Amino acid sequence: MTYVLLYDRDKREQELIRVKIGDSVARLSDDSLKCSCFGAAEQVDGFLVKGPPLDLTMLEVCEDGDIDLIRRVRAAGVQADMMLLADSRISPMRYMTPDIRACSLLLKPFRKEDMETVVHEFMSAFYRKKETPSDENSIVIENRDGRTVVPFSQIYYIEAREKKVFFRLRDREYSKYDTLDSIKNQLPAGFVQSHRSFVFNTAYLDRIKLSENSVYLENGIIVPLSRSFKAPIKEYLSGLSGKWDNDIK
């Protein structure tokens, strides 16, 4: 699944871009598409609170408030590739900045042919990156939804159930047919087993409650802790300069 956020006040432009997005996804991948289209900043703000994690964003820049909105998108933790649909009268120095990190630009008003070229190039770059692992710090997940490269640094925990392995990110879950033992052999340092079916990323560790048999991760995520893994976890964490001594109770 590819998740796209499109923000453009001009309904005609919005529809043209939406159609081209669908065409590019169909040409470039086997993914299904979920494109959320909005014409008001308030709608985008609401979507950021309740919507799914995003892969791509295409955001209008036609007035000062739009730049503020884009910064809110980034501040909300959205790391998606970003294209800006910018009014040609606004200086690029206003929005081509390190904190916004746009990787593509379409100037408005645009010709339909130019839009189609820019959007397709933007989508092509995304799928090239998605299909090709950038380094050894990622894992490739192939299933009926397509092929996805997931950085280990984004994984909160890994769970084995129903003959599959599930990779839990902050707001998203991927799965593939595999075994936990096989996946464990691919993991970098920092992943610790807490249960026969769970491995968690200590980079997201908040605290451990021995009395509750629970490991608390950031963002309210909890994984089980079985008795047989309590001692190894305490030993592992005690070696991290005592960082977690007060959080294991």
56 and 92 inside one domain: yes
120 and 196 inside one domain: no
112 and 205 inside one domain: no
119 and 18 inside one domain: yes
Q: What is the pLDDT at residue 76?
A: 76
CATH number of domain containing 193: 2.40.50.1020
Question: Which range of residues forms the domain containing residue 165?
Answer: 138-247
CA–CA distance, 100 with 87 (Å, rounded to integer): 16
Contact of 151 with 110, CB cutoff 8 Å:
no
146 and 89 inside one domain: no
Contact of 108 with 118, CB cutoff 8 Å:
no
> Of 113, 131, 149, at which residue does a domain stop?
131
Residue 176 phi/psi, 5-degree rounding, is -155, 155
84 and 155 inside one domain: no
Tens-binned pLDDT, residue by residue, of the chain (249 aa): 888 999 999 999 999 999 999 999 999 988 889 999 999 999 999 998 877 778 899 999 998 899 999 999 888 766 789 999 999 999 999 999 988 999 999 999 999 999 999 999 999 999 888 776 555 678 888 877 777 778 898 899 999 999 999 999 987 899 999 999 999 999 998 899 999 999 999 989 999 998 899 999 998 999 999 999 998 888 887 766 444 444 555
197 and 221 inside one domain: yes
CA–CA distance, 83 with 103 (Å, rounded to integer): 6
Q: What's the Rg (C-alpha) of the chain?
A: 21
CA–CA distance, 125 with 119 (Å, rounded to integer): 10
> Of 103, 131, 159, at which residue does a domain stop?
131
CATH number of domain containing 69: 3.40.50.2300
Q: What is the pLDDT at residue 242?
A: 47
pTM of the model: 0.63
23 and 122 inside one domain: yes
Contact of 186 with 139, CB cutoff 8 Å:
yes
Tally of structural domains, the chain: 2
185 and 222 inside one domain: yes
Q: What is the pLDDT at residue 240?
A: 61
202 and 113 inside one domain: no
159 and 216 inside one domain: yes
127 and 6 inside one domain: yes
> Of 100, 131, 162, at which residue does a domain stop?
131
- Beta-carbon-side half-sphere exposure of residue 50 (alpha carbons within 13 Å): 6
